[in-house]
Chains A and B, each alone.
Chain A
Amino acid sequence: MAVAKVSERWAAMSLVPKEEVGLLVDGLARHYQVIGPKQKGKAFVLEKLASGQELRLDYQTSILPPRKALIRPRETMFSFHDNQVETVQDAGPQVLFGLHPCDVHALTLLDQVFSLEYEDPYYAARRQQTYVVALNCTTVGENCFCYLMGTGPTLRDGYDLLLTDLGNEYLVEVGSDAGEELLRHLSLRPAPRVRVVEKEKRLDQVRRQFRQQMEVTEMREVLAGSYNHPAWRELAKDCLGCGNCTMVCPTCFCFQVKDQLELDLNHGQRVREWDSCLLWDYSLVALGHNFRPQLETRLKQRLYHKLYYYEDQIGTPGCVGCGRCVTNCPAGIHPLEVVARLKGE
C-alpha cells in the first residue's frame, strides 16, 4: 500500500473503452476476489462480482460502505472448546473496484483508527491484501458533500488504480506499486498525455456542480460553542435512534464482542459485530449505569464525533461527505443542516 506520488507515474496511464471495463473485473477476478458496485433493487451494493457484467460504475453510492470488506458486520474472531482456542483468519487477496473518492478517504481514516494505539490484527490482515481501484466522480449525487469535506469529487492518493470517466472510455492511472502489479494482469492501451487535460476539464465541471454551504473550519467553530444549544432537544424529537446513520457510515468503527456457546456448553465462538453509539445500550456498563440514556446525548455524540472529536483523534474530520446517513435517515436528519441550525440559520 505504499502510495507513490501520482506525478511520478504519468507514463503508466492507460485507457479502457467503456464497454470493456467489465473485462478488467474478469481479468482481476482470476487472481483476486473482486468486490464492486452492483445493482440491488433501486439501490446499489458493494459485493463480490461474479463477472464484470454485474459491475455498475454508474452507481451513486452503495447501501453499506466498503469497510464491510475489512471489518465485517459480524465476524468470528476465534473458536474454542475444552481448553483450546483456534483462531479464525479468513483474509484473502481482494480488489475493491470502483470506490468513490469519499470512500477511499474513509479507508485511509480507518487505517489510522485500527492501527493508532493497538493494531487490529483482523483488520490489518485484510487490509494488507486489499487493493483499491478507485473511480473519480463525474456526477454529483443528491446528498453528496465531499467537496466541502475535502474528500472529493476527485482523488489524489490512497488508491492503487484510479479510473476517470472520459465519456467513451476510462482513464486508468497508477497510484502504487500494487497498482502496477494489478495492471500486469490486464492488457491496456497506453493513454496519450493529452487525455489528462480532458480529465481535468471534466472534473472541474463536477466541482462546479457543488453548492458550497460552509467551510469545515466554520463547522468546527459552530460546534465548539453549541453543545448546550436548545436545537439538540428539537432534533432528538425527530431522531428515531434507529442507528441507520451509523450502520451505513464509512468511518464508523465501533463493534461489540460476545461469546456464543453451543448447546453442549463446551464448544463456542467469540464473535464481533458492528455496534452504534446511537443505540441505548451502547454506553451501558456493569451494574446498570448508562452514560447516555437520553437519545439527545446519543445523537450529539454521533455528530460531534464525526465533525469534531475525530479531528482531535486523527487530525481530520470523521465525515467524508458521502451522504449515506442523509439518504438512509427516515427522519431526514442532515449533518450540514444540523450545523446550520446550530449556527442559527
Chain B
Amino acid sequence: MRRILLMLTSVLLIATVFLTSCSSNKNGDSGSNAMSDEELKKYENVDWNSPEISWKKATEPVSFTSYLDFDWYPIDTWGKDDVSKEITKRTGVSLEVTKSSDPQQLQVLVAADELPDLIFTDKQVERFYNPDLVWAWDELIKKYAPDFMHLIDPIEIINNTADDGHFYTLKTHYNNEKAWADPRNLPSPGDPGLYVREDILNELGNPPLDSFEDMLNVFRMVKEKYPDMVVYLPHPTWTSAFMDFLGLRSANPYEDEQGNIRFGFMHPDFEEYFKYMNQLYREGFLSGESFAYKPEQFFQIVRSGKVFAASYNSGLADETNKIFDDGGIKGHFVPITKALTYKGEDKLKIIDASVGWASLFISKKVKDPARAIQYMQFLKSPEGDSLTQWGIENEHYTLNDDGLLQRSPDFINKKVTETGIGPWYFQASGLGEGVAVSSGALNSKYHSGVELLKFRKTRYVRNPALSFTKPQADTDEFNINVKLTELYLNSQVGIITAANEDEAISKYKKMLEDAKKIGVEKLEKYMTERYLKAKEKYDAVAE
C-alpha cells in the first residue's frame, strides 16, 4: 500500500511540476508579464532621442534570420554595404538574409513550419495576422519596449489592427495627414506615368496634348511620319496610364455614389476605357503582343529608341534618358504632367487607402523577441528611418535649409549594393521616401519624375478605411477576389484586341457576366460591411 501511495504521490508531483512549467512557459510566451496600460503611462515622456529608449539599452551582437519576399530586391547580403554595417554598429543587429526566388516560396515556408525570424512581404499579409505564426507587436512592445507604444501614431495602429484586436506589423511608407501635407513629401515612385518622346514632338511641331483625343491625333501623326516606330508601349504589368487618367483601377475597391464598395473593374467607366484602348489597337498604335512581354523585354524595346510613347512608373523617363545619353541614342522622354481629359472631362482622381505598403512580421520562432521588437523601434525612429532611406549623414548626404538631401556629385554613380540605401527600410516612413525622391531634383539632371509626382499628389484622395475591405485569407471572399483579378487579367487583352468596337463591348459585357458568376456581388457586400465598420473606427478617432 505504501508503495502504491508513494507511486501515486510521485506521479502527482511530476504532473504538477510539468503542468506548472508548461503554464509558466505559456504565460511567458503570450506576454502576460507585459505591463498594464497604467504602467505604460510612465513612459509617455520618453521621446525618440531619449538615451533611455529601449533599443539603446541592448546593443550587444545579435543575429536574425530574415526572408525578403521580393524577387526583384536589389540586395541579398547583409554587412557588405555602408548602411547595413552602420545598423550593426549602432544596434548590434545583423541579418542572415534569404531573398525570394519564387513567389510561392513563402507559402511553402509557412506550410513546412520553417519560417525565419523576420519576414518582409507585401503578399497575402492577412495570412500572417495569426498568433500561432508571428508575434503580435502590441504584446512584444508592452513587454520589451514599453516606450515604443506611445511613439507610434494611433491612426497607424488602427490601420494595422487585425480583427482580433492586435497588430502584427506596421506597414512601411505610411504618411499621416501632417506628413502628407509636408511640401517635400510625394506619392510613391511606383505611381504610374505616361511618357512621350519630346524630340519627336518637336519635329511634329508640338501639337496640343491635353486630351485623349489629342493623344490619338499625335499617335496618328507619329504613325504616318515614323512608320517603323512603336507608337505606344505599355508596361505589361503596371497600371495602365489611360486607366489612371480616367480615375480607374482594375482590382482596387472604390466607393460608389450610394456608399457601397464596388470591385475595381465594375466601374461603369471601364466601358469607355476599353473603347479607347480598342481604338488604339485597331489603328495600329498598340500591339496585342505588348501585353505578352516580360518586364525586361519591355525595357529592352523602350531603350532601343524605337518607341514614341510608353507607360510605367514615375521613373521611366529619367532612367531611359540616362541610358539614351550614356549610349548616344537619340531621344528624350518627358512625362505628361497634367490630366488628359476624356470627352472634355477631367477624370483623374487617385483614390488611395494610404495605409502603407510592405509588412515585416516577427516569427514565433524568433530566438530573441525582445531584440527583434527593439530593432523595429530603431528602424521606426527618425534616426533609423533617415539611415535606411537616406544613408549616413555627411557621408551620403547633408540636409540643406529646405530639409532636402544634398548629395555629392559622384553619388549617382554609386550602386545600391555599395551604399545599402533603401533595401533595409523595414519600417520606412512615407515622408522619408518622399524627401529622398523630391531631393532628386537637387542632385541629378534626370528628375522629371519629381514633377510628375508633384502633379499627382494634387489628385490624391486618401481613404484608409478602404484597406479593410481586403478579404481575409482562406475565406470564400478571398477566393472570389483572386478569381476576379484573374478574370480581368485574362479578359482585358481580348477586349482591347477585339476586331471592332461592338465586339469589344460584347467581350466587356461577358467579363461582367462572368464576374457575377464568380460572385462579385457577394464580395462587394462583404467589402461594404467591413468598410463601414472600419470607417466607424476612424470616425471615432477623428472625433
- Bound pair (A, B): no
Please give the residue numbers on chain A whose beta carbons come within 8 Å of chain B beta carbons, in ascending order.
Answer: none
Please give the residue numbers on chain B whose beta carbons come within 8 Å of chain A beta carbons, in ascending order.
Answer: none
